[in-house]
Amino acid sequence: MSTLSYPHDDPAVRPELLPGKRDFRGITRQVSGIVEAKTPTGWKLAIAFTLSVLMILFGSLFRLVTKGTGVWGLNTTVGWAWDITGFVFWVGIGHAGTLISAILFLFRQKWRTSINRAAEAMTIFAVMSAAIYPVFHVGRVWFAYWLFPVPNQMQVWPNFKSPLFWDVCAVSTYATVSLLFWFVGLVPDLATLRDRADTKTKQIVYGILALGWRGSHRHWLNYEKAYQIFAGLSTPLVLSVHTIVSFDFAVSVVPGWHTTIFPPYFVAGAVFSGFAMVVTLMVMARRFLGLGNLITIHHLENMNKIILATGSIVGYAYGIEFFTAWYSGNPYEKFVFLNRAFGPYSWAYWTMVSCNVIFPQLFWFKKVRTSVPLMFVISILVNIGMWFERFVIVVTSLHRDYLPSSWTYFKPSLFDISTFIGTFGLFFTMLLLFVRYLPMVAIGEVKSILPAADPHAAHDHTEARHES
């Protein structure tokens, strides 16, 4: 037998997911400790900042509601721009959480246990940020409930044949299932916080949320079954939500929108941007919360590989679209794509291509995949690229339509920009509240992958002891 070129890569040995000596109590203490510690000044400063940004959102929306959607830079040719771009951007980011909690679970990828809780939380906050757009784009926001098919004496219904209505159904289903999945996963950990509470208030609040969890075998049995069912139900949701978002465009007859590859291509793009956001956030969690021992470089590397894979699928879709635009022989198709690459928005197009197709390819190198500063930069570039992707699809397809006299160049107004920036305020405020008050790593699930949880593995029995 020849010697291995990478001795640490011996294929017969599965590397431990969390190397080093770990016991149950250590993990409980570390994760609960983040919640139980005295509020750090850094957190106070951070939330002061994100709350200020959130105020920008409130201000922008106030202006929008009092003046009308005219405060955005939309015009008769480009009737959709930053609003739908922001919506698709945020919904897409949400996909990583569901993929990690559902699909990676079904594929028995146990490394997901360190990151799934935070990723699922991120999903919910991303969907909240996304929901801002359709709700406020209706203009008369007090009629936003008309988005739903509410029975009424005027017999006014949403158009069931409209993909925008399918969107309402898909996104609200997605938000509901994600929220329930996340909460079910939280229950055992909330009970841990309840049992460790040092004040009456905490005990009552966490106690109510823990739904009477006692950690009995019967509880765990039900929990495992529920988890499996949620994973099964959420898996098609990962595909369906962004598929329907892609239908918003693809079922139209607008060149640049009407193309059959949109559904799988949007799903891949969503997972791509979602994982990039998870990497961005996990790098920060390691830095500021000292979670480097639970979220190891191995976890980050795995996520970077998924970014590389999905980024390549997105690149494939760009290529096939371009090829088919030529192959179709259809002058309108051809024009739209040439206009994207060389027209007035070429700067946006090439930003998109470099951020989504070129930079992630650096992850072919193990050095880049395992370098925290580089992956941090690339993960942010990916999300910039994915924002531009939606912008390019939406605006370049619209701004030069069939009638050259109506051609225009879309420029965002101050309120387009401030609304979008404001959604980051919402997203990060929610995230900061989450890390402060809820266990951001799934304590029970991480324990399950330790050697101490495996009755056949060699371990010291004191490692498996819980807090008394």
Q: Which of 261, 377, 433, 464 binds another protein (CB under 8 A)?
A: 261
Comparing CB distances to another protein, the nearer of 122 and 325 is 325
Comparing CB distances to another protein, the nearer of 53 and 314 is 314
Residue 320 binds to another protein (criterion: CB under 8 A): yes
* Least separation in angstroms between CB 411 and another protein: 30
Q: How is residue 174 written in tokens?
A: 């997605």
* Least separation in angstroms between CB 235 and another protein: 8
Q: Which of 48, 154, 253, 458 binds another protein (CB under 8 A)?
A: 253
161 by DSSP, 3-state: which? coil
Q: Are 428 and 90 in contact (CB under 8 A)?
A: no
Distance CA 445, CA 185 (A): 9
Q: How is residue 430 written in tokens?
A: 């929610």
Q: Which of 25, 63, 110, 258 binds another protein (CB under 8 A)?
A: 258
Residue 14 binds to another protein (criterion: CB under 8 A): yes
Contacts of 399 (CB under 8 A, 6+ apart): 77, 78, 344, 345, 407, 408, 409, 410
Residue 295's closest CA among 463, 181, 179, 440? Answer: 440
Q: Are 367 and 378 in contact (CB under 8 A)?
A: no
Q: Which of 317, 355, 441, 442 binds another protein (CB under 8 A)?
A: 317
Number of residues that bind another protein (CB under 8 A): 39
Q: Which stretch binds another protein (CB under 8 A): 22-30, 271-279, 322-330, 439-447?
A: 322-330
Q: Are 302 and 366 in contact (CB under 8 A)?
A: no
Comparing CB distances to another protein, the nearer of 328 and 462 is 328
Residue 221 binds to another protein (criterion: CB under 8 A): no
Residue 458 binds to another protein (criterion: CB under 8 A): no
Residue 11 binds to another protein (criterion: CB under 8 A): yes
Distance CA 116, CA 443 (A): 11
Rounded to whole angstroms, what are the CA distances from 418 to 63, 74, 75, 151, 381?
A: 11, 15, 18, 36, 21
Residue 285's closest CA among 46, 92, 53, 452? Answer: 46
Residue 199 binds to another protein (criterion: CB under 8 A): no
> Site residues (CB under 8 A) for another protein?
1-6, 9-12, 14, 106, 236, 239, 243, 247, 250-253, 258-264, 312, 316-317, 320-321, 324, 326-330, 364
